[in-house]
Amino acid sequence: MTANGRLEHPKPTQGRGKPAPLLLASGLIVAVLIALGASVWAGTGAKPDAKPDAEASRAAFLQVYRVLTSPRCQNCHPAGDAPLQGDDSHVHIQNVKRGPDGHGLYGMRCDTCHQAANLPGVHMPPGNPKWSLPPAKMKMVFVGRPAGELCRQIKDPKQNGGRSLEALMDHIANDDLVGWGWNPGDGRTLPPLTRAETVAQLKIWIDGGAACPK
């Protein structure tokens, strides 16, 4: 019995023994990749393997909120009907108004001054082919909105241009006009997070159920 057992034992052990290091190694690689991914995406010490919970989700939104309400973003998302300018978000001079389509009123259209790209020099008009405010019928106001309110607003398709959470993320990750915020021309400060960091926080927010602060 004992002899038999000893004779037979090595077989299955060997059989299991071979793939085990491989499994271990691939498991390790996956873990390292996840950890790497998490640190690149989140830039925080968030648990790499667990799905973000509501608390992590709310915390991530607060990071995104810092970007949304930074001058480069909120200057085009004002509560009133004029764009804002500068780091102090003062009302746009020259009596520029939103107009129904967000591109200004007749005779004072945005593209009269704003070109397809930034003009070099401090206080020169920044540029993008789509340069405008959101339209009058959907103003997408960021200025003055408390975090919880803005959180609920930007995930509401009735207020965000009919976007799903994925479309919202895609807009912030890839839209060229949003991208201007991180390439704002001479003399303008950048949002507090990089675009990649912002998208990483958005992902945590969405993966954790797009939870909103109170």
Cβ–Cβ < 8 Å for 65, 50: no
**Residue 210 lies near ligand HEC (rule: CB under 6 A):** no
Collapse the DSSP code of 172 into the 3-class scheme (helix H, G, I; strand E, B; otherwise coil) and give the result. helix
Show the site string, 90-129: x = touches ligand HEC by CB under 6 A, - = not.
Answer: --x-x-x-x---xxx---x-x-xxx--------x-xx---
The total number of residues shown for the chain amounts to 214
Min. distance of Cβ 66 from ligand HEC in angstroms? 10
Out of 42, 178, 200, 202, the residue judged to bind ligand HEC by CB under 6 A: 178
Q: What is the DSSP letter of 63?
A: H
Cα–Cα distance for residue pair 184/124, rounded to 1 Å: 11
Contact between 204 and ligand HEC by CB under 6 A: the answer reads: no
Interaction of residue 151 with ligand HEC, rule CB under 6 A: no
Q: Minimal distance in Å, beta carbon 198 to ligand HEC?
A: 7
**Structure letter (DSSP) for residue 90:** E
Please identify which residue in the block is written with the tokens 């915390």.
59
> Which tokens sit at 82?
């004029």
* 48 counts as binding ligand HEC under rule CB under 6 A: no
Q: Which stretch binds ligand HEC (CB under 6 A): 22-30, 31-39, 49-57, 172-180?
A: 172-180
Applying CB under 6 A, does 86 fall inside the site for ligand HEC?
Answer: yes
- Separation CA 82–CA 102 (nearest Å): 10
